[in-house]
Amino acid sequence: MLALTTVYLAVVPRPCTFKGGGFSTKAVLSQAQASDQWALLPGQEHQGEPLRVEAMRLKRDLQLASKATAPVLEKSLADVEKKVIKYDGEKADIQKEAHRFEDMKADAQKHGAPFGLAVIYLQIAILLSSIAALMKKPPVYWVGSLSASWVWSTLPTGSTSSSKFRARSDVGPHGRRCHRAPGPLSSWSKSRTR
């Protein structure tokens, strides 16, 4: 029994390491995508600012204009204000997308942390199990087994936040949906909830 438990404890940290690494990778990629979105923002503001200045100039000219030139200025002002609204909308979309990627990063970090702790506690359990075998002390074995059982109670089990994370992970750059096969997270969550 002791030998089988030790072998089992030696194998279990591998998936935990891979899952934790996957969440770390997802966090880094999400941060990079958020940074890309924030980098687009100054360019959008740079394009919209001359239009705001033009709109203010046209409003001033409209107040000073004669009745003959007023319709032309009103049409120009309406066109410029439409462009300002368009750029403001695009700016808001860029900010929303950047915040969404930042939320994905935070979610990945939150889900990745328990896997790092799991690896630590599983290694402690392996150590205690090995010591119990060498010293032939059953209490040390049971402490190691408790350490391993604590790991299973701390790992995420496919909660609503992880399903939210999975739903967002199929969005590629610029908010376009990517057609991807279900990843390992979806199959792992299903096996943990059974």
The confidence score (pLDDT) of residue 62 equals 82
CATH number belonging to domain 2-193: 1.10.287
* Cβ 156 vs Cβ 150: under 8 Å: no
**Would you state the structure tokens that stand for residue 194, as one six-digit string?**
């059974």
The confidence score (pLDDT) of residue 155 equals 66
DSSP 8-state assignment for residue 171: B
Nearest C-alpha neighbor of 80 from the set 60, 45, 56, 44 = 56
The residue that leads in pLDDT, 45 or 157, is 45
Work out whether the CA dihedral 150, 145, 1, 116 comes out positive or negative: positive
Q: 23 pLDDT exceeds 70?
A: yes
pLDDT, the chain, mean: 75
153 band by pLDDT with thresholds 50, 70 and 90: low
138 band by pLDDT with thresholds 50, 70 and 90: confident
Picking from 10-24, 115-129, 175-189, which range would have the lowest pLDDT averaged per residue?
Answer: 175-189
Report the predicted TM-score, pTM, of the whole model to 2 decimal places. 0.58
Work out whether the CA dihedral 153, 157, 159, 164 comes out positive or negative: positive
19 band by pLDDT with thresholds 50, 70 and 90: confident
The predicted model gives 59-76 an average pLDDT of 84
